[in-house]
Amino acid sequence: MYDTALFLIGDTGDYNRFGAAKYVSVLFYLLLLAAGLFVAWRNWTEDPSQRTVRNVGIFVMRLIAGGMWFQGTIWKLPLPVAAGFKYWLEQEGKFSAISLQGALVRDVLLPHIALLQPPVYLLEIAFTVSLTLGLAVRLSGLVVVLFILQLWLGLYNDPTEWPWTYVAIAFAHAMFAVSEAGQCLGLDNLLRLRGAAIANGRGIIAAAYRLAS
């Protein structure tokens, strides 16, 4: 709990490297977290069917997973190349379970790391937003599974890593997708409840969103 409090106020090693600039990131996450709690409260007050142990449990786990992803973005700063990101990409090049993947990392991704890191950073921010707000969680859960599986394979032979860690993370997000976790005190349910066009319409965008949520 103490470590969580330090993370929320931006008093961690990863944060403190950036001086006062860290508070931009701290403020962003606190506002996002407040928005996620507000969405949950609106669901609770407007939809009695949301008031179940199952929904609350999934909501809490979804919120914590979003925080995990956001904490992982901090050591990917500054952009476009952070030392931590470069180190772990090098580890994938050395320890991949698949020689082709290792060669791809060494020969293509590492030489162009300045182009690779910003999209990876933004992708993890997207995971954070999706899980915290409960927005399009089915889609983000499936994308996370693919994202984690490449890490699992890439770091499989790293003697400092435990491969089952990545299997557990992948399974957790697969369960978010299967259980439609955004429908549990999330924005996915609130949009449906309020008859929003994106959630209830007949167009291609609405259909795509329903598949994603």
10-residue mean pLDDT series, the chain (213 residues): 93 93 96 98 96 98 97 93 96 96 97 97 98 97 97 96 96 97 96 79 83 87
- Please tell me the predicted confidence (pLDDT) of residue 209: 85
Q: Which amino acid is at 33?
A: L
Contact 81, 117 (CB under 8 A): yes
Q: Per the omega criterion (within 30 degrees of 0), is the bond before 78 cis? A: yes
The whole-angstrom separation of Cα 75 and Cα 82 is 7
- Please tell me the predicted confidence (pLDDT) of residue 205: 85
| pTM listed for this prediction | 0.93
CA 192 to chain centre: 23
The whole-angstrom separation of Cα 139 and Cα 210 is 10
The single residue listed with the structure tokens 């320890």 is 95
- Cα–Cα–Cα angle for 129, 89, 150, rounded to 5 degrees: 65
Return the closest-CA partner of residue 111 out of 121, 119, 103.
103
Tokens of 55: 């929904």
Cβ neighbours, 10 Å, residue 99: 8
- Please tell me the predicted confidence (pLDDT) of residue 198: 75
Output b/e per residue, 63-89; b: 16+ Cβ within 10 A.
bebbbebbbebbbbbeeeebeebeebb
The single residue listed with the structure tokens 């925080």 is 67
- Please tell me the predicted confidence (pLDDT) of residue 203: 83
Number of Cα atoms under 13 Å in the Cβ half of residue 21: 6
The single residue listed with the structure tokens 């790293």 is 158
